[in-house]
């Protein structure tokens, strides 16, 4: 196996909407083995390489290429960006993310993660070389899902303003449906270091620039009238990322209703000159 093929396997699995367990079942392997492959902890035979390619609907050559940049589309036309299935994570990552939300990254120990996951500490290290790598895996999952959902939402719109409104809706839906991932993404950036910090900040910036570009296009065509969109655009993003702190799906508004309301508010914040029907 070439170095870092695991990240490509993980990216393709996420794009296909497959859980670790689902891919493992397809290949007749254990979820732990899939996690080890994705973290470059085990070698892959030629036979298994071809089996992975078939299961991921990719070519062997694609598996041997670097993982796609976050700027590339990561979804297929039949995936619904408004639909959120329950995430099925490997036990170590699932336990780590829950503990990071409850206690914070710095206060969580690998021993606590192992105990919560029902694994030994050595078993955790077999799949993830460090606690930092677990945090990085969680943020990779977050950014990959956000990227394809926001792009799919954009591509569904007709005008630039409609595209922008859908992108805000997608951003709000993610933060309402995936509060744990969203909370960690907002609260633990300070815990990243090295290349991971640079890469994830770049991914976050690229996502913001995608949304900014549609707002700027709507300003150019005269639909949005604000002379200085930057403060409003940052406020809109902050409005969406704050949802995990207060939103409850059993409250007065449903997740769909709050996402629609945020999209409506965002149009007003940018001075929409004419009524925009973003959901038609």
Q: What digits encode the pLDDT tens for the residues 66-111?
A: 554 433 334 444 468 999 988 888 899 999 999 999 999 999 999 9
Of the CATH numbers 3.40.50.800, 1.10.357.10, 3.90.79.10, 3.40.50.150, which one belongs to the domain with range 132-269? 1.10.357.10
Mean per-residue pLDDT, 157-164: 93
Quote the pTM value.
0.71
Q: What digits encode the pLDDT tens for the residues 25-76?
A: 888 888 778 877 877 777 788 888 888 888 888 888 777 765 544 333 344 4
- CATH class given for the domain over 1-62: mainly alpha
Give 41's contacts (C-beta < 8 A, 6+ positions apart). 6, 126, 127
Q: Identify the CATH number of the domain defined by range 86-129.
A: 1.10.10.60
Mean per-residue pLDDT, 220-249: 95
DSSP state of 224: B
Higher pLDDT: 87 or 264? It is 264
Find out whether 230 and 164 touch, Cβ atoms under 8 Å: no
Q: The tokens 């694994």 sit on which residue?
A: 119
| CA–CA dist 155, 114 (Å, integer) | 42
Structure tokens at 145: 């899902």
Instruction: Please report, for the chain, the start and end positions of each structural domain, with discontinuous segments joined by +.
Output: 1-62, 86-129, 132-269
| CA–CA dist 117, 90 (Å, integer) | 9
Find out whether 35 and 90 touch, Cβ atoms under 8 Å: yes
């Amino acid at each position: 196996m070439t170095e870092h093929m695991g990240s490509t396997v993980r990216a393709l699995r996420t794009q296909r909407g497959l859980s670790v367990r689902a891919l493992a079942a397809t290949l007749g392997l254990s979820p732990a083995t899939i996690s080890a492959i994705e973290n470059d902890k085990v070698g892959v035979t030629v036979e298994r390489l071809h089996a992975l390619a078939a299961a991921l609907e990719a070519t062997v050559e694609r598996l041997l290429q670097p993982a796609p940049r976050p700027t590339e589309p990561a979804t297929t036309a039949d995936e619904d960006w408004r639909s959120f299935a329950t995430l099925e994570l490997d036990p170590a990552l699932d336990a780590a993310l829950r503990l990071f939300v409850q206690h914070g990254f710095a206060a969580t120990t690998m021993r606590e993660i192992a105990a919560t996951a029902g694994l030994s500490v050595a078993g955790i290290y077999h799949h993830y070389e460090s606690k930092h790598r677990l945090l990085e895996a969680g943020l990779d999952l977050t950014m990959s899902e956000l990227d394809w959902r926001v792009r799919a939402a954009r591509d569904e719109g007709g005008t630039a303003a409609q595209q922008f409104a859908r992108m805000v809706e997608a951003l709000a839906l993610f933060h309402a449906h995936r509060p744990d991932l969203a909370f960690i993404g907002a609260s633990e950036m300070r815990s990243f270091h090295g290349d991971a910090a640079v890469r994830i900040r770049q991914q976050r910036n690229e996502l913001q620039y995608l949304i900014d570009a549609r707002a700027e296009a709507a300003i150019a065509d005269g639909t949005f009238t604000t002379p200085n969109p930057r403060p409003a655009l940052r406020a809109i993003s902050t409005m969406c990322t704050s949802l995990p702190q207060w939103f409850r799906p059993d409250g007065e508004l449903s997740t769909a209703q709050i996402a629609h309301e945020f999209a409506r508010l965002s149009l007003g914040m940018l001075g929409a000159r004419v009524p925009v029907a973003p959901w038609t």
